[in-house]
Structures are given as structure tokens and as C-alpha cells.
Amino acid sequence: MTRSRMKLSQPDSEGTRSHPIEFEVRPWGSFSTLEEGPGYKIKRLVVQPGCRLSLQKHRHRAEHWVVVAGTATVIKGNRRLTLRGRQCTVIPRQSWHRIENRGREPVVIIEVQHGAYLGEDDIIRKQDDYGRIEPRAESREPRRGMTAGRRK
């Protein structure tokens, strides 16, 4: 798996970073972080033809997706949506979701994340085409009524 990361700017006096401050290549395409500040982050995602992101959810953030190019197939909970240029959807916190590109051109999405924590490690994967599923964070926490030492 190829993954690269590059940081490009410093925060201003309000703690806001703007213009591409991070670029990462992922197996499905790439993303650029355009701006981030307290409680929000704005990204530009490019999903290559025939690729899809993992089926995932986030504990601490919700996301608002706006398709700016291409046609995206979006899995949102138990629903499958088709979104084209200028169409959008909101992904609530703790909701299973995925973006797929079944077309021949890249899909470009502007993603606005908002929440208490916006780190890349706030991803719980249920299914992934690229072998990135790790033991779920939930399995590392004691279940209700159990102690950490008494799991079955």
C-alpha cells in the first residue's frame, strides 16, 4: 500500500490552517486537507475509477460530502445513494458509510468534518478492499458490565 503525507502550512493566530496543508495518497485515490480549525476540517477527496473507500464509521465526527466532479455511489447506513455534481449528503457520527466510484472518471468530493476529535485514527472499519481492517477499537474497551480482565 502506498501512503504518503506532506504538511504544507502553519496555523494562523486563530488556530486555523488554510490552503493544502496535508496531502495523502491512499489505495483508492488521495485526499488533501484544505483547511482545519477548532472543531472542523475541510478535505478534497479524489476517488479513482473502480475504487472505493472502506465501509467505516467515526466515533467523534460527522461529515458533510459535496460531489464536485463525477458520479459517486454512497453507502449511508442501509441506503445506497447516487450523487452527481453539486449534490450532497450528511453522514452522522457513528453511521456506517462508504464512497464508491463505479464510473470511468475520478470522483471529487469536498468533505467537511465537524466534531470533538478529527484525527485519522477515528476510523472503525467494517469492510475494506485493501486489507486495512484492524481489531475494532470497540473490542479493546470493556463491554457494559464487564471488566477489562474478564472478557469472553
Dump pLDDT digits (tens) for 45-82: 999 999 999 999 999 999 999 999 999 999 999 999 99
Residue 113 has pLDDT above 60, yes or no: yes
Is the four-CA dihedral 65, 71, 75, 81 of positive or negative sign?
Answer: positive
Q: Which amino acid is at 47?
A: V
**What Å distances lie between residue 93 and 113, 128, 130, CA to CA?**
10, 19, 24
Q: Which residue has the higher pLDDT, 131 or 21?
A: 131
CB 27, CB 1: distance < 8 Å: yes
User: How many percent of the chain have pLDDT more than 70?
Assistant: 75
Regarding pTM above 0.75, the answer is: yes
Q: How many CB atoms lie within 10 A of CB 56?
A: 20
Taking only Cα atoms into account, the Rg of the chain, rounded to an integer number of angstroms, comes to: 17
Domains, the chain, in order of start with CATH, read: 23-128 (2.60.120.10)
Asked whether the predicted pLDDT for residue 34 surpasses 80, the reply is yes
Indicate the pLDDT class of residue 21, thresholds 50, 70 and 90. confident
Mean pLDDT of the chain: 84
- Cα–Cα distance list, 146 to 87, 93, 149 (Å): 45, 25, 8
Which bin fits 84, alpha (ψ -120 to 50), beta or left (φ > 0)? beta
Give mean pLDDT, residues 113-136: 90
